Amino acid sequence: MADVGRLAGVSQVTVSRALSDPSMVSAETLKRIQDAIRVTGYVPNALAGALASNRSNLISALVPSVTNIVYASMLHAFSKIMRARGYQLMVGETGFDLAEEEAVVATHLSRRPDAMLLTGIHHSPAVRRMLLSAAIPIVEVWDITETPIDCCVGFSHVAAAAAAANYAHSHGYRRAAAVTAGDERAARRRDAFVRQFEALGGTPVATVDFPGHASLGGGRQALATLIAEHGFSGGVIFCSSDQFAQGILVEAKARGLAVPSEVAVIGFGDQEFAPHTDPPLTSVRVDREKLGTAAADALLARFAKKTMTNPVTDIGFQIIERETS
């Protein structure tokens, strides 16, 4: 930066100003500086800038996994807005394990992010303490709580699952099953679905749980298991993800079972392929782009003014009725 200044015949600070706010230097000085930058191939050092200004322009985003499309698409929407505002993203994967999250949070905080996005509302006491003393805006996503660390953007998993149970019951289903991936929020939905479906007078809900992530193969296997081991002989299957639902459709077709008359399915997530399965998949839609943009908006609002109008943003959900139930 000093070299650039020397070449342009100004001091180093003037170069700094030209870069951070061009309106602070005269037009001709600006031009000379820009020329000098081009000639020298100068690349600013954001590290030094961050240290001096105490603003890193970094946002850290922690998700369970980047290979899960629901988190990836949320990140995409989130980062698009943040990038447009000059912030860069540091992405971290926390798995579904609180201890792992703790280590990731610690290393990310050492980079002094200006804000942090966290997935979920359940964190270890150590994480809460670190986050609180970091004193930066924090947004927790994919769930809502009355007691966020700072603010949260999401929806009620209990309400979504109960709505699915109501939907199933009102469409005449009295028998049901649930297929669930190894994810705390999915498990909460499963429990809420079971509770509500049975409360409405449905027969006991059979459940099949997978420890890992949802997959098409898992959905096929789940239907096979339900039939072979749970005596499943018709009814609606509430899935924790559209991936499972798609697998159930494939397996049903392979077995010659009619959908929805013999096997009905409700997916979760309303992923891109849901309208194009055969038959088109009924699913609970969660607007992942909106989740990402609302999370970004919440952080930007916190940057603008310290007072929060409302720390809890419920983006809701929607049951998209198609032809599988």
Partner DNA sequence: CTGAAAGCGCTAACAG
Partner DNA sequence: CTGTTAGCGCTTTCAG
> Which residues of this chain interact with DNA, rule CB under 7 A?
1-2, 5, 9-14, 16-17, 19-20, 23-26, 29, 42, 44-45, 48-49, 51-55
Q: Minimal distance in Å, beta carbon 72 to a second copy?
A: 5
Q: Angle at the Cα of 229 (from 225 to 232), degrees rounded to 5? A: 80
Q: Please name which of 70, 69, 112, 117 lies closest in space to residue 92, comparing C-alpha atoms.
A: 117
Q: Minimal distance in Å, beta carbon 215 to a second copy?
A: 6
- Which of DNA, a second copy, none sits in contact with 93, Cβ below 5 to 8 A by type? a second copy
- Which of DNA, a second copy, none sits in contact with 10, Cβ below 5 to 8 A by type? DNA
In the 8-state DSSP scheme, what is residue 302?
H
Backbone φ and ψ of 163, nearest 5°: -65, -40
Strand arrangement of the beta sheet that strand 176-180 belongs to: 206-209, 176-180, 236-239, 264-269, 283-285, 318-320
Q: Minimal distance in Å, beta carbon 36 to DNA?
A: 12
Nearer Cβ to a second copy (199/262): 262
Nearer Cβ to a second copy (57/145): 57
- Which of DNA, a second copy, none sits in contact with 65, Cβ below 5 to 8 A by type? a second copy
- Which of DNA, a second copy, none sits in contact with 20, Cβ below 5 to 8 A by type? DNA
Query: Residue numbers of the site for a second copy (CB under 8 A)?
Result: 41, 43-48, 50-51, 56, 58, 65-67, 69, 72-73, 75-76, 79, 88-93, 106-112, 129-130, 133-134, 215-217, 220, 243, 247, 250, 253-254, 272-273, 275-278
Q: Minimal distance in Å, beta carbon 130 to DNA?
A: 14
Q: Please name which of 82, 132, 150 lies closest in space to residue 306, comparing C-alpha atoms.
A: 150
Q: Minimal distance in Å, beta carbon 118 to DNA?
A: 23
Report the alpha-carbon distance of residue 211 to residue 144 in Å, rounded.
24
Beta carbons within 8 Å of 265's beta carbon, 6+ residues apart: 236, 237, 239, 245, 248, 249, 259, 281, 282, 324, 325
Cβ neighbours of 300 (radius 10 Å): 15
Residue with structure tokens 């031009």? 31
Nearer Cβ to DNA (40/166): 40
- Which of a second copy, DNA, none sits in contact with 109, Cβ below 5 to 8 A by type? a second copy
- To the nearest 10 degrees (0 to 180), the angle between helices 98-110 and 125-134 is 20
Nearer Cβ to DNA (110/310): 110
Beta carbons within 8 Å of 322's beta carbon, 6+ residues apart: 274, 275, 279, 280, 281, 282, 283
Nearer Cβ to DNA (25/249): 25
Nearer Cβ to DNA (49/217): 49
Token code pair at residue 318: 């929607």
